Chain A
């Protein structure tokens, strides 16, 4: 499996990552190598094998829906890069 530069750019776009030209070329080579290695899985016949969704026995994880004390607004906003009027500030979505 050899990735093209266009494929690398497409993956970076899906992953919302700005990459430099140097990073794109390096990842193109390295990801191709890693995927080559992963190709040994493709040869294995897994027709009847179910995928592992959890290593634990299936069980109900529901609990009573009761309110618990949470974090304060101040604590929640403390790490925000930008806030305004007690909200997270982001660039305008609509002009």
Chain B
């Protein structure tokens, strides 16, 4: 038997169900590894070992009682240790969003997606690091310090779900929850060599996700395999009356075939995603992955998504505009940091000035400007129109192909501090991931190789709205034929 830390989600759940290991033992394995590696990785903002042990014991007790009186199926993730990105509410555990302004905020309720995983039996080890309010591509914008990439501690894990990607890559837990507004699940998954899903907009309830860009925000799972990601997704997805944008559509059960077979699957390769400036090893690895899909039976078509190069300015007007409205709620009155005892306006200004970090202030300023009188039509309204063109690019493409294959990011993980002081250079890191959020389509990122520095390379496949099943089919077939997703970073356990 393999070491428990190397288990996939499916293997861990089966080992618990078969009595080969208890949830308590498995959780202790994770907590010991966290104790050993967290000082190096700094992937968590808040650790919850007491909660984890209580949940593990409850899972073991449930299983013991079920064995005596088996009724119905066992909860599908019973006893499984995971981590939750610190922009998702978990009742009675502080939720900082990587910000000083919420340093002491303790939500009285859990996000629907978190609640569904809890009902499925998960054990929560803690809340993972994130760029402040999920605004960033490196996890350096956290008020609680940067997270280090497990493959190279001098490099970023990507962002904003960098903490969640790092804990999965370093085998501290079996899966983690992330969020993706402009690539924040897929890009860190790529930088850390794990598998991550940005679901279709409206597929997973956003209730209890602290809002950033509400027309773009998606909650998605991160794990080591497509099968694991699909299992977590199938539990999190589905209608929720508490989120008016969640779609009332059935979530079909996910089925996997034993043999990798992509016969009849039409894969589109958009030429706009292979631009000058892309790291040659990234392009090579993605093209090799596409070639492998062809040998598995897929048809490859070169396609065009002509408005791709507008995605960056469109995103960096719409997302900040939505953020400036969403973050108006932090005013020092009902929750969060309160500064100054002047009049009410002083209270608002000073609490926000002291509580928000530089990137959040920058986006609030940018969004406020884009929405302000005299500039609304030129910036915000124009961006929403170009967004329609980007969305139509995808609709047209999906008339002739089933999925679209592309790199996740132009490069592998970059050194910590590389883009400090140059926000535009940091925004360019998101150039390949923003389109899926603007069009609302699902995207699955998974590892397809390593560069010369032994840093993981990721690719993404995107599909039509609500066709996560196609992405899982292709991702699983690719992972059956390759072992990139099984590679593990070498970390010194002190």
| Chain A residues engaging chain B, CB cutoff 8 angstroms | 8, 11-12, 14-19, 23, 26-27, 30-31, 33-35, 37-38, 40-42, 44, 46, 49-56, 61, 63, 71, 75-76, 78-82, 88, 90-93
Contact = CB atoms under 8 A, between A and B. Distances in A.
A95 to B, nearest CB: 10
14 contacts: A17-B356, A18-B349, A18-B354, A31-B362, A41-B383, A49-B385, A49-B388, A52-B438, A56-B202, A63-B241, A76-B108, A81-B335, A90-B333, A91-B343
Nearest to A76: B108
Interface string B413-436: 000000000011001000000000
A51 B349 contact: no
The secondary-structure label for the interface of chain A is: loop
The secondary-structure label for the interface of chain B is: helix
Closest 6 CB pairs of A and B: A55-B440, A18-B353, A51-B384, A81-B338, A79-B335, A75-B108
Contacts of B245: 54, 56, 61
Nearest to B248: A59
B349 A79 contact: no
B378 interface: yes
A78 B106 contact: yes
B338 A17 contact: no
A42 B212 CA distance: 25
B106 A79 contact: yes
A56 B441 CA distance: 10
B391 interface: yes
Contact of B365 (A15, A18, A40, A90): A15
Contacts of B324: 15
A51 B388 contact: yes
Given A17-B349, A56-B201, A78-B106, A37 B335 contact: no
B365 A17 contact: yes
Contacts of A11: 365, 368-369, 372
Given A54-B215, A80-B333, 19 more contacts: A15-B324, A15-B352, A15-B364, A31-B366, A34-B424, A35-B369, A46-B382, A46-B389, A50-B388, A52-B391, A55-B440, A55-B465, A56-B202, A71-B109, A75-B108, A78-B108, A81-B333, A90-B333, A91-B341
A42 B336 CA distance: 38
A37 B241 CA distance: 40
Contacts of A63: 241
Interface of B: 104-106, 108-109, 201-202, 215, 241, 244-245, 247, 310, 312-314, 316-317, 324, 328, 331-338, 341-350, 352-354, 356, 358, 361-362, 364-366, 368-369, 372, 378-379, 381-389, 391, 423-424, 427, 438-440, 465
Nearest to A3: B369
B365 A27 contact: yes
Contact of A16 (B336, B352, B366): B352
Contacts of B106: 78-79
B475 to A, nearest CB: 22
A14 B372 CA distance: 9
Nearest to B383: A41
A79 B105 contact: yes
Contacts of B104: 79
Contacts of B317: 38, 41
